Amino acid sequence: MAAPKKRVVTPAPRKRAKAPPAAPRFAVIHLLSDSTGNLGQHMLTAFLTQFPADAFDVRRHNFLSTPALVGQEMTRVGERPGMVFHALVSPESKAKVVAACEKAGLPACDLTGNFVEFITRHSGVAPKADVRLIHDISEAYHKRIKALEFTLEHDDGLGLETLEEADVVLVGVSRTSKTPTSIFLAQQGLKAANVSLARSVAPPAQLLALKKRSVVGLLIDPMRLSEIRTSRQRSWDMSDTGYNTLDAVQEEVEWSRKLFKSRGWPTIDVTSRAVEETAGKIVELLRIRNEGIGIK
């Protein structure tokens, strides 16, 4: 008698677990502020340097000084959905943003809350949550205004008779970012002057009489400087001159380098530096804080 055949049982196919829905992707960034928006803008700009230049459409919403205004603006945000960053002082305004974003399914990031909470937690001091204090007309504010006035009056060799009153004097050949760097320093409360140098003209006596700790020489790669000057010449429909040709520029930069060394002035190469970085290096070089000048 033949043995009975074994019954083969085929297992039922396993059901694949459904993948969770992909999180939405946004190319729009909304930045909310209860004041000028400068703080949030600076922070966000720093973050976005790590991403492609045209990756995001940033939309600013400033002067949202009350929770009611925040609520109204969040309605506009919903018309163009995106990531929401906010730099708001009022806890009620922060709560408005969180609630609106949760309802609309939008991601939200508080740019200031964690830092304020950190200070409170480790100091025991409670914040006032008063947006008016951000731009208070204080002594530091008046100091910045006076510094700006001084810098404008001592730009490009002006005001030599009072040059010794400067906290810092920037020197260098033409087109080495002296003026924008001076203005940036002035916005921090430093009286910054600048003097342009040229091989064919002796440096001003007032400059040479200064204490060397207050002077900083700015240097730049000759090829880059030649490119900058050539572009400027072209914009004026001017032909090449000793001002922009590479050989002449190399000699001029080398002359300035020797001058700085002979005077004992510290130097900074601005070739690949943003104005903000150059200013930071200047503060570090001169150890301005230790000299009692202070930055606000």
CATH superfamily of this structure's domain 28-135: Response regulator (3.40.50.2300)
Q: Which amino acid does the sequence have at 256?
A: S
The yes-or-no verdict on residue 264 having pLDDT over 50 is yes
Q: Where in the chain is the domain with CATH 3.40.50.2300?
A: 28-135
Residue written as tokens 């720093």? Answer: 46
How far, in Å, CA of 186 to CA of 103, rounded? 45
How far, in Å, CA of 243 to CA of 233, rounded? 9
**What fold is seen in the domain 139-291?**
Rossmann fold (3.40.50)
Higher pLDDT, 33 or 19: 33
> pLDDT value at position 291?
54
| DSSP state letters, the chain | -PPPPPPPPPPPPPPPPPPPPPPP---EEEEEESS-SHHHHHHHHHHHTTS-TTS-EEEEE----SHHHHHHHHHHHHHS--EEEEE---HHHHHHHHHHHHHHT--EEESSHHHHHHHHHHH-PPP---GGGGG---HHHHHHHHHHHHHHHTSTTTTGGGGGG-SEEEEEETTSSHHHHHHHHHHTT--EEEEEEBTTBPPPHHHHTS-GGGEEEEE--HHHHHHHHHHHHHHTT----TTT-HHHHHHHHHHHHHHHHHHT--EEE-TT--HHHHHHHHHHHHTTGGGT----
What tens digit of pLDDT does each residue of 181-213 get?
999 999 999 999 999 999 999 999 999 999 887
Pairing of strands 267-269, 192-197: unpaired
CB-based contact 30:83 (threshold 8 Å) = yes
> pLDDT value at position 1?
56
> pLDDT value at position 7?
64
The yes-or-no verdict on residue 61 having pLDDT over 70 is yes
What tens digit of pLDDT does each residue of 168-185 get?
999 999 999 999 999 999
How far, in Å, CA of 84 to CA of 29, rounded? 6
Under the banding of pLDDT at 50, 70 and 90, the label for residue 21 is low
How far, in Å, CA of 257 to CA of 265, rounded? 10
Q: How much is the pTM?
A: 0.71
**Cβ partners under 8 Å of residue 294, min gap 6:** 189, 288
The yes-or-no verdict on residue 167 having pLDDT over 60 is yes
Q: Which range (13-27, 42-56, 186-200, 204-218) has the least confidence?
A: 13-27
CB-based contact 192:147 (threshold 8 Å) = yes
